[in-house]
Amino acid sequence: MFCNNDELISLASSDLQAVEVIDPSFICFTSLWGIALPGAGSCTRRWAILVTFLVLACGALCFSRFFHPTGPSWLDSWTLLQNVAAHPMVFILLQVLLRILRSELILDLLEHHIDCSKAQAASLRFRTKFQCICVWFLTLLVSAATWWGYLPGFLHPDYIGALGNELPDHRFFFGLSHSFAYAFVLPIMYGSGLSAVMILLLIQELCFMGFTTNLQRLNSDLSRLGVPAAVASASAFRVEEGDLARFKVGFLKTWQLQKEIQRRIAIPYLLFWLCQVAALPWSVMNLSKGFGPDFSDERLNLLKKYDHLLVRLLALLVASPWFGLPTWIFALYPWLPMYHHWHFFHLTRQLIFTKTQVEVAFRSFLREFDLYFSAYALHATPATLMVYVPILLVNTLGNVADKVRLLTAL
């Protein structure tokens, strides 16, 4: 689809010259974590295939721990279930996003629907660079918590010291394989998952740039100044019926592209929210027990015996793969287009045309559309936000209650 990464990180500007809109650090970061973006070299593609295999193998290893629910690496089955379920979720999300990036949809959006000014390019380039810095920090932080909370358990003499002792030899290979997975493969999965969030944000930014480009094509002054600057000038713009007709055609095509992209992105999100609904009984049960110390919890003895399990518990309190703070960023992505919807229509309400009938037709046309995320059963509107947020909040508080009861009982 793309000959090289330069085509992905560059867009046409209003003067038909290519401008760089994505910071090269974005390409480097995603490549490091095994995401072969369109136009990636052969080495990156091979690395991506290997990473896919490693993530799936890591998921299988995590699942195998259900058959060994004892020892210094074990905390509880619910925590393990969350870790196991996170593997296919990250895998499905990445496959969906890469298919979108390699599809005709993105190529059409980049080639025909976006004219990018140098100011817009600089702004998007800065945001992608800032996101890369944040994601680097989060990846290292979560990886460090994983190493501290899991590796001591698998490197414990009960596993690594099994060879030559009376312990079964398979314990040695169990500890060795899981140590490799948690030391090397899980950080790669963290980086891949956070890269997926960055790609989601990038796709949404590109779609919004497509809509503002259609506004700029209404009038040469709008194209030259940019929509925000043109609106700030409080000037009336001469827009003819033919200009409005071209705007309608361009806007409708961009809107259809966005909806098709959203339909594809919605698949992993529907799976995510089904899992959140399935977790509600566990969360409600935990909330019903309150936040006070629970001295009868069987995990207390494990926490007192193995210090690394306490680190794991604290990490799960803040960064659980399904109920932690990073989850909120991912979960609320479908509601991000609400901001772009409000911003776009705020700009259009301030546009003034010299011809009243054209302005009336322009506003009448836009009333038939919204820029919200809407696909299948997932309709991310302000009203549904009041439905989905309580689900996530109950699950988050249930996770917090479970961990706080343990911590206060120590």
User: Could you tell me if 54 and 185 are in contact, meaning their C-beta atoms sit under 8 angstroms apart?
Assistant: yes
Q: How many CA atoms lie within 13 A of 407 on its CB side?
A: 15
In 3D, which of 199, 203, 200 has the Cα closest to residue 27?
199
User: Could you tell me if 201 and 130 are in contact, meaning their C-beta atoms sit under 8 angstroms apart?
Assistant: no
| CA-based torsion, 332, 405, 313, 82: positive or negative | negative
Average of per-residue pLDDT across 259-282: 94
- For the cut 50, the answer to whether the pLDDT of residue 2 exceeds it is no
pLDDT in tens, 249-269: 999 999 999 999 999 999 999
Backbone angles phi, psi at 294, to 5 degrees: -120, 95
> How many CB atoms within 10 Å of residue 399?
26
Q: Could you give the angle at which helices 382-409 and 307-319 cross, rounded to 10 degrees?
A: 160
Domain ranges of the chain: 5-409
- For the cut 90, the answer to whether the pLDDT of residue 390 exceeds it is yes
Give the residue with greater pLDDT, 5 vs 97.
97
Percentage of the chain beyond pLDDT 70 is: 92
**Partner residues linked to 375 by β-bridges:** 378
pTM of this prediction? 0.86
> What pLDDT, on a 0 to 100 scale, did the predictor assign at position 25?
80
pLDDT in tens, 131-156: 888 888 989 999 999 999 999 999 88
Distance CA 148, CA 126 (A): 33
In 3D, which of 50, 29, 321, 40 has the Cα closest to residue 202?
29
CB burial of residue 192 (10 Å; 0-12, 13-18, 19+): buried
Please give the angle made by the CA atoms of 32, 37 and 38, to the nearest 5 degrees: 150
Output b/e per residue, 13-23; b: 16+ Cβ within 10 A: bbeeeebbbbb
Distance CA 37, CA 365 (A): 37
